[in-house]
Structure 1
Amino acid sequence: MKYVLLYLLMFFSTELLADDMRPASVNINLVNDTDFDLVWKIPIRNGVRETLTVVFPEDTKLLAPKRTHIINNAYIEYTSFQRKSGVVGLKLRIDGIERSSGDVLLRVSDTQQQTITTVLNIEQPSFIVNSLVATTAFNTALTYIELGIEHILIGLDHLLFVACLVYISGTGKKLLLTITGFTIAHSITLFLSATGVFVIPIQPVEAVIALSIIFLAWEIAKNRKHSLSLRYPVLVSSSFGLLHGFGFAAVLSEIGLPAAEKTLALLSFNIGVEVGQLMFVFALFIVFKFIAIMYKSLSLEKLRIPVSYACGSIATIWMIERLAVF
């Protein structure tokens, strides 16, 4: 595919640091009609905790001092509070979310396991609990599809890998097979890891994900028509797709899965990832076509070296940062 470099430069010019797409989360569990336990988790991104705060209405009061821990590169706060009028009408607001790079997943559950799950973000920084009902399958699916789409569209390393796959595929048919191989492979490891069948540490996985981009950038630079990557891109995409699946699973483990509908939530998250991936590929084609019209003198060969160096340099920064945490 032509003209990838210009798109990459626009897309990554302000995002040279390794991405961390774990969402923050608020879990509220009703102990009885008036008392609540709260677990507030904020990811620590590149050594810095975002300044997010859960704000409750004035008619609530703390029952116990806050307890805080830092576990798995996340700040976790535990506390209990009381609201005499109960859960109905409870309004929560997330201060600082307008400066956040991710979403906040809110889950409220009562003693009967009736639950409300929603996503708070810049567009919706607050939420009022009208009532708790048994979560429908449709609502669960919709929530996790949305999370999957958002994750892939702001997951810079996964998008850069897909962009490289588009470049080395060459033809539409090869691209379809290559993306399909990547999809099947990361779906397998996502399911295995998220269900606890096969789990590996995420830090080395993230480093190897960056290395996979460096490998593709090197293949683009060499441009050897008989190399393994250019002859069989589906083999390369499938192999590295297994690693990317573990990366997706790490994010999903931070979000959590509803106890009663784990399979549905997992499938929906994966569907969301695929939808987001297709949206990205479609956006690339639009950008390619536009640039092809505006700059007819540009060609695939002219962009090959700049594209490979741009992709390889960004991925190298990510790999160094991720190795530094070992």
Structure 2
Amino acid sequence: MSWLRGILLGCCAIFMAFSAAAHELDPGYLDIREIETNTYQVFWRKPDVRGRPMPIEVRLPENCTPQSGPDSVSDGTAWQSHWVAICDHGLSGRYLSVDGLAYQKTDVLIRLQALDASPVTKRLTSTQTTLLIPEKQSLLQVGWTYAVLGFEHILEGWDHLLFVFALVLLIRSKRRLIGAITAFTVAHSITLALAALGHVSIPGPPVEAIIALSVVFLAIEILKREEAKLRLSERAPWMVAFAFGLLHGLGFAGALQDIGLPEVDIAMALLAFNLGVEAGQLAFVGVVLAAGYVLKGGLSWLNMLSVRLLSNANLVAGYLIGTVATFWVAERIYGF
């Protein structure tokens, strides 16, 4: 079984490396609010990369003083700075940019709030680092921005993806798998909406730790599975998926609350973000199922070796998922 231990250790190292690198994909956030005519409160949040702020800097239009703010200060998860800028003749029709974004893999979400207009939400990427500030934004533009944000958030959320991956491995019936994923979707949609609208408020760190524990639970279920006897999580997986989906929804809401919702188009932004999350989740499940089908077909010609590999696949996956999730639990509890 030395080969099995080797695969397990190698996969654990890869997953932990992805976990550590995930912060490099966290989006930046820029909030500009007009507090008096031509006077703006600026909030700038940069992702943390290995204990240091990501090397990106916002540059306001040339008619603003100052164009950039003070040095960022860490809040434990990201780097923030606040300042007040005076922008003669306002911001509409002006250009702002994020220096250094072209060399990063992340995005920056920008929210602009004028005194006499609806909020405008825009997104800058490594291929588009400059924004022409518009006077107003259409409902469809708001929807598209938040849908893309939701899609990217789920694909960067390794704990959420690992939970879904464990569901795929655990549930052998396609009908039960569809029911479980549907229940997971319904549950996290409920808590996402409640938390994002301010009706439910739970501190983020405990929620993140419990989300990691939910992945540990599924890993244990995978390891204890027996061919002749279905466990509760296999007989009624929708119950488990719904219960833990409520917690995962709070995790999604935490990311959405950091970004903020447009005051006028809250319903559209919330719906679009949730649809983006679901699209990302379904895309991930599709890739996993396709990869499993290809792998199983590719091993079929190896006869006895393929039987041995496939019989140990769930064992390897269970220990891998459990090890990575336990690491997350310890890391997040330590972060309290």
Q: TM-score range, shorter-chain basis?
A: 0.7 to 0.9
Query: Would the aligned equivalents of 1:169 and 1:233 in 2 still touch at CA under 8 Å?
Result: yes
Instruction: Give the Cα–Cα distance (whole angstroms) in 2 for the partners of residues 227 and 110 of structure 1.
Output: 56
- Give the Cα–Cα distance (whole angstroms) in 1 for the partners of residues 232 and 21 of structure 2: 28
> Which of 191, 194, 197 is 1:192 aligned to?
194
**Contact 2:119/2:263 (8 A) holds in 1:** no
Q: Using a 3 Å threshold, how does the CA distance of structure 1 residues 302 and 68 change in structure 2: closer, same or farther?
A: closer
Name the aligned partner's letter for residue 177 of structure 1: G
Pick from 252, 257, 275 the counterpart of residue 253 of structure 1: 257
User: Post-superposition shift, 1:248?
Assistant: 0.5
Bigger CA drift: 229-238 or 209-218? Answer: 229-238
Assess if the C-alpha contact under 8 Å between 1:168 and 1:233 holds in 2. no
Q: Which secondary structure state, in structure 2, belongs to the residue aligned with residue 78 of structure 1?
A: strand
Q: 2:303 matched to which residue of 1? A: none
Moved more, 104-113 or 169-178: 104-113
Distance 1:198 1:13, change over 3 A: closer
Find out whether 1:49 has 2:49 as its counterpart: no
Residue range with higher mean Cα deviation, 76-85 or 191-200: 76-85
* CA displacement at 1:259 relative to structure 2: 0.8
Bigger drift between 230-239 and 33-42 goes to 33-42
- Secondary structure at the aligned position of 1:147 is classed as helix
In the superposition, the TM-score normalised over structure 2's length comes to 0.85
Provide the residue aligned with 2:15 in structure 1.
Answer: 12
**Gap change, CA 1:65 and 1:150, over 3 Å in 2:** closer
Whole-angstrom distance in 1 between the partners of 2:315 and 2:124: 42
- Corresponding residue number in structure 2 for 1:309: 319
The verdict on how the C-alpha distance between 1:200 and 1:46 changes in structure 2, with shifts beyond 3 A counting, is farther
Cα deviation, residue 38, structure 1: 1.7
Q: Distance in 1 between matches of 2:287 and 2:294?
A: 11
The 10-residue stretch of structure 1 (16-25 or 106-115) with the greater mean CA deviation from structure 2: 16-25
Q: Which amino acid aligns with 1:310?
A: L
Instruction: Find the counterpart in structure 1 of residue 113 from structure 2.
Output: 109
Alignment partner, residue 141 of structure 1: 143
2:68 and 2:139 mapped to 1: Cα distance?
A: 35
Unaligned runs of 5+ in 1: none
Letter in 2 for 1:306: V
Q: How many residues align?
A: 319
Aligned CA distance change for structure 1 residues 99 and 301 (closer, same or farther; 3 Å) = farther
| TM superposition shift of 1:220 | 0.7
Question: Could you say which residue in structure 2 is the equivalent of 1:295?
Answer: 299
Task: Return the structure number with greater helix share.
Answer: 2
CA contact (8 A) 1:140 1:265 kept: yes
- Residue 95 in structure 1 maps to residue 105 in structure 2: no
In structure 2, runs of 5+ residues without a counterpart are 1-6, 301-305
TM-score, structure 1 as length reference: 0.87
Give, in whole Å, the separation in 2 of the partners of 1:189 and 1:220: 27
1:171 to partner: Cα distance: 2.2
C-alpha separation between the residues in 2 aligned to 1:57 and 1:162? Answer: 44
Partner SS, residue 18 of structure 2: coil
The yes-or-no answer on 1:223 pairing with 2:225 is yes
Distance in 1 of aligned mates of 2:55 and 2:67:
23
> Is 1:324 matched with 2:334?
yes
Mark the CA change 1:218 to 1:63 in structure 2 (over 3 Å): closer, same or farther. closer
SS in 1 for 2:207: helix
What amino acid is aligned across from residue 110 of structure 1 in structure 2? A
Give 1:212's aligned residue. 214
User: C-alpha displacement at 1:35, in angstroms?
Assistant: 4.2
